[in-house]
């Protein structure tokens, strides 16, 4: 098995052969992928070396110290955090070879076509249809709340392939080409004034069967891999102390003593401690991930992330008073990614309202934690064994 010393040696060889100061950014990232230093825990030939996940930090530290470029992980977060682990687990060898390198290098942006107007919290109720036509599948339907669809080249998508089966069993998982003429992307303007989300209409979109992930009818199982990784990537990302939402309000507290009150001080201390507990719990979760795939614990982390972001941003607006209501830009913008910390307090407060919806609503995640982590009885369900076509909608 590859150890830390070998990884360090390979990293130094990469830097010697491709000096960051004189090597094109994309060329350097491609060379890093081919050297197995992208995801060290991935298989050889797919960006990794079959090394323990924990040793990625050895590579990253050495490359950072040398001034090597990263792959702009925030811009391609859906590809890295959701599409890649799903492709690795369920994709054919041809699919892995075709998609993983440009995904990691950042040459192709990804989005997620899961939610629908009638299937948000109850995702398994989705109605987008995929019908087999020779070696292709023909898709028709509508998706909604799709981050980055306006800049994405590819999408991970689930569609109903058998309406005669109960809703969880008649779903299949695909990779969709966003440049297909049957794909129409429309902006959805949010409370912030931006349109980072989209609705996507699919009209006779043809997807080759080779771009199916997993078996026909097992899309719900495949989607669980995506969703578990998504919740970890949202709620369990590595941040420094006072990173995320707690950083701006802590700076305001230190720099603006005239705004302080005893009540706000006590509430800020409580939230600061909660944020630090969540940060350390995230570190523990990543240590557990080194030994396996994400589990339902990621749902707990995502729950904490949403609650803390909303409470901290609300407290910051309250601390700043009238000034906290100011917002620098209400114009219609189409950002590629969300920047929580580089904007006004008013923006952070408004944008954080979406944290309890995106990546799974807090209500659904509470059920997951209750049933799969705490072992509590499931809620009564009367639709699990009913054919999807017979469900009331």
Active site residues: 230
The pairing of strands 110-113 and 154-160 is: parallel
Q: Helix, strand or coil for residue 212? A: strand
| Best CA proximity match to 305, nearest among 281, 288, 335 | 281
Q: Helix, strand or coil for residue 219? A: helix
Look up residue 255 and give its two tokens: 């720099």
The distance from CA 207 to its chain's CA centroid, rounded to whole angstroms, is 23
> For residue 194, how many other CB atoms are within 10 A of its CB?
21
Asked if 85 and 327 touch (Cβ cutoff 8 Å), the reply is: no
**What long-range pairs does 322-330 form, CB within 8 A, spacing at least 24?**
324/349, 327/192, 327/193, 329/193, 330/193
| DSSP designation for 44 | B
Asked if 155 and 83 touch (Cβ cutoff 8 Å), the reply is: no
End-to-end CA distance of the chain: 53
Asked if 42 and 97 touch (Cβ cutoff 8 Å), the reply is: no
* 29, 92, 125, 136, 206 from 159: Cα distances, Å: 34, 19, 10, 14, 13
d(CA 159, CA 71): 31
β-sheet bridge partners, residue 132: 137
């Amino acid at each position: 098995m590859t150890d830390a010393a070998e990884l360090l040696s390979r990293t130094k060889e990469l830097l010697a052969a491709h000096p960051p100061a004189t090597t094109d950014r994309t060329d350097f990232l491609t060379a890093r992928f081919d050297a197995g230093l992208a995801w060290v825990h991935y298989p050889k030939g797919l960006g990794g070396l079959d090394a323990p996940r924990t040793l990625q930090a050895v590579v990253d530290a050495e490359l950072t110290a040398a001034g090597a470029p990263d792959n702009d992980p925030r811009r391609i977060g859906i590809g890295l955090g959701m599409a890649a682990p799903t492709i690795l687990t369920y994709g054919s060898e041809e699919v892995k070879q075709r998609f993983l390198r440009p995904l990691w290098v950042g040459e192709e942006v990804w989005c997620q076509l899961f939610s629908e107007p009638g299937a948000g919290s109850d995702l398994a109720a989705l109605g987008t249809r995929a019908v087999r036509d020779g070696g292709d599948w023909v898709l028709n339907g509508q998706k909604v709340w799709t981050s980055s669809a306006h800049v994405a080249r590819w999408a991970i998508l689930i569609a109903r392939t058998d309406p005669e089966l109960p809703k969880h069993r008649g779903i299949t998982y695909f990779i969709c080409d966003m440049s297909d003429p049957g794909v129409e992307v429309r902006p959805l303007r949010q409370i912030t004034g931006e349109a980072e989300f989209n609705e996507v209409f699919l009209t006779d979109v043809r997807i080759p069967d080779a771009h199916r992930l997993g078996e026909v009818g097992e899309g719900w199982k495949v989607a669980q891999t995506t969703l578990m990784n998504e919740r970890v990537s949202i709620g369990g990302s590595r941040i420094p102390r006072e990173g995320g939402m707690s950083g701006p309000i802590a700076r305001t507290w230190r720099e603006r003593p005239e705004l302080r009150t005893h009540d706000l001080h006590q509430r800020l201390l409580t939230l600061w401690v909660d944020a630090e507990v969540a940060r350390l719990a995230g570190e523990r979760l990543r240590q557990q991930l080194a030994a396996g795939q994400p589990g339902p614990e990621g749902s707990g982390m995502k729950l904490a992330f949403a609650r803390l972001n909303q409470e901290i941003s609300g407290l910051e607006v309250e601390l700043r008073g009238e000034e906290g209501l100011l917002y620098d830009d209400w114009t219609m913008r189409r950002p590629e990614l969300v920047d929580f910390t580089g904007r006004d307090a008013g923006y952070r407060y408004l944008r954080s309202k979406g944290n309890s919806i995106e990546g799974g609503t807090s209500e659904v995640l509470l059920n997951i934690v209750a049933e799969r982590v705490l072992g509590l009885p499931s809620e009564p369900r009367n639709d699990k064994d009913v054919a999807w076509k017979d469900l009331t909608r």
